[in-house]
Amino acid sequence: MAQNIIFMGTPEFAVPILKSIHLSKHKILKVYTQPPKKKDRGQKINFSPVHKYSIKTNLDVEYPENFETDKEIKNIKDLNPDIIIVVAYGKILPSKLLNLKNSKFINVHASLLPKWRGAAPIQRAIMNLDEETGISIMKIIPKLDAGPVMMKSKVSLPFGINFNNLSFKMSNLASKMILDCIDLIEKKQDTYTPQEESKATYAKKITKQEAKINWNDRAKNIIAKVNALHPNPGSWFEVNGSRIKPIKLKEINIQGTPGRVLDNNFTIGCSENSVQVLELKKEGKKPMLAKEYLKGNKIEIGTTLNV
């Protein structure tokens, strides 16, 4: 028997999961996503990836500011969903919504809970040089990402993988897992395992200041940060007053003063080993190979970058 589902999600990560449900036998009653935002100086309206997919596929989509009003609670209650599935929605659901009877609230989270609860689990796993991560599907409770877990699946995390590639891999895994979870709920065979609270860690939101590269860090950590924050917000450093966002770096077994340009190949000293910039994006420009950048932007050996 098909389940009636409400889907709540916002970024690109949530789209394959929404698509998987949409193409299944189950019925999506409504999609909720973050409100559209005005982008750049032109004030162009920017819809979320979930919003765009919903419009493209004629799914009923709404974007309330919050669910604190009785009207919004009633709207969901009147739809009488069997399951409400939340994937990187970006808003905390109030207790009075979670207390609705006859509806199960399920969250798809991009980590092996209780590790990396919070807003940026994929980025934090990469930055932390974790060797594995994964998908956890859990029951939602009022405490952030702390609900009992219904299903987990691991993903290897090779050094050098960036956010885009890992997010794509994990989202596609989750798109298969969610159908298994819905099937278990439908058959009333869903079971939940409490998280070990003592092992909980938190993946706080990435700050703008955090994106700046600190050359006093190890080469491995700098590469991990660049990979974790690519493409957005992107790590950065300054050369001659211009902001550079490295896209691809290579660790070089050369020791040099942190932040100092060591050769004509754009090798920069770190606290342990060095990094060579292979690809980059100059502020206001398109991505390019470092060797192309250096043709028009000479950097003297010995130049010290901000640390």
Q: Can you give the pLDDT at residue 55?
A: 97
Pick from 109, 120, 116, 180: which is nearest to 149 by CA? 109
Give 1-58 pLDDT, tens digit per residue. 899 999 999 999 999 999 999 999 999 999 999 999 876 665 678 999 999 999 999 9
pLDDT of residue 41: 60
pLDDT of residue 283: 86
Domain parsing of the chain, residue ranges: 4-199, 209-296
Taking the CA of residue 122 as centre, how many other CA atoms within 13 Å lie in the half-sphere pointing to its CB? 23
User: Is cis: bond before 231, omega within 30 of 0?
Assistant: yes
Which of these, 72, 84, 100, lies nearest to 26 by C-alpha position? 84
User: What is the maximum alpha-carbon separation in the chain?
Assistant: 69
pLDDT of residue 234: 95
Low-confidence residues of the chain, pLDDT below 50? none
- The reply to whether 4-199 and 209-296 are identical in fold is no
Q: Do the beta carbons of residue 88 and residue 110 sit within 8 Å?
A: yes
Q: What CATH number was assigned to the domain covering residues 209-296?
A: 3.10.25.10
Confidence (pLDDT) at 38: 74
The model's pLDDT over 90-104, given as tens digits with 9 standing for 90+, comes to 988 999 999 999 999
Q: Which CATH number fits domain 4-199: 3.40.50.1400, 3.30.1600.10, 3.40.50.170, 3.20.20.120?
A: 3.40.50.170
Q: Pinpoint the alpha helices (H) of the chain.
A: 15-22, 49-56, 70-79, 95-98, 121-127, 163-186, 219-228, 290-296
